[in-house]
Homo-oligomer: A and B are copies of this chain.
Amino acid sequence: MSDPTRVTAAVLIIGNEILSGRTKDANLAFLGTELNLLGIQLLEARVVADIEVEIIDALDACRAKYDYVFTTGGIGPTHDDITSACVAKAFGQKLIRHPEAERILRERMTQMGVEATEARLKMAETPEFAELVDNPVSGAPGFRVENVYVMAGIPRIMQAMFEGAKPHLKRGVILLSVTVGSFVPEGQIATELSLLQDAYPDMDIGSYPFFFDGKPGSNLVLRGPDQARLDEAAGRLGDLIRNLGQEPVEGGVEVPKSAD
């Protein structure tokens, strides 16, 4: 990571329910979008089961490789919530009942009129040198250890925690994007597109085919740090599309989800 403008991240989604198909993950797309707005490039995501060795291996691989790791899931009160213990092990820290987290939880439980069970207080457990991440939705905080942010799996709680973490994150250069769509199918524009990519190595050009209104087409996404360069490349792309007898659509052709 010698380039100071480049900040990278991985997301680690923890939970059997995502792998069994029971629950559709909604956190990855949210984090990808949000991190991008901060100039943090999400380069990898992993989904692992509630198995200690798997969680620790994935954590260790990702925290060594990326500037940040964001985990979701496995921090509730039940026996299958083992994320906090795994993070403690990965960092070689003791798992403690965090005094401030306990205070927050007990206050919340008093407010809600629920009993402070041992299980509920398990949600105050963190690695010994963790820093709490506020949870305005349901009380039980997330936490950070070094470059790893540990967040809930429930989307609205995860999102609230991420809001709390945001001000503390190092930001890099923001990748902007311009989308140009048309009813030119990928196979017809691929060669020119590849030449355009070669001419603009400072951006990533992605091609996303669709079939809509009885016709094939593609949305072409240019991503890079420099708006003027993106606009210039998008202009050339528009010309290519017109040369192929179609009209470019700025922002891309909007297609129903099922046709994407």
Contact = CB atoms under 8 A, between A and B. Distances in A.
Interface of A: 16-25, 28-34, 36, 42-50, 54, 76-81, 114-115, 117-120, 122-123, 154, 156, 177, 185-191, 193-194, 197, 204-209, 221, 223, 258, 260
A209 B49 CA distance: 18
Contacts of A54: 43-44
A186 B78 CA distance: 7
Tell me what chain A mostly uses at the interface: helix, strand, loop, or mixed.
mixed
Given A78-B207, A117-B190, A187-B114, A19 B46 contact: no
A115 to B, nearest CB: 7
A158 to B, nearest CB: 12
Q: How many copies of this protein are present in the complex?
A: 2
Interface centre among A78, A123, A193, A207 (most CB of B within 10 A): A78
Contact of A17 (B17, B118, B119, B206): B206
B49 A43 contact: yes
A178 to B, nearest CB: 12
B46 A191 contact: no
Nearest to A31: B21
A21 B33 CA distance: 5
A32 B44 contact: no
Contacts of A43: 19, 48-49, 54
A42 B18 CA distance: 10
Contacts of A154: 209, 260
A125 B184 CA distance: 22
17 contacts: A19-B43, A19-B44, A20-B36, A20-B42, A22-B208, A44-B46, A50-B204, A50-B206, A78-B190, A78-B207, A79-B193, A79-B194, A114-B188, A117-B190, A119-B187, A119-B191, A120-B187
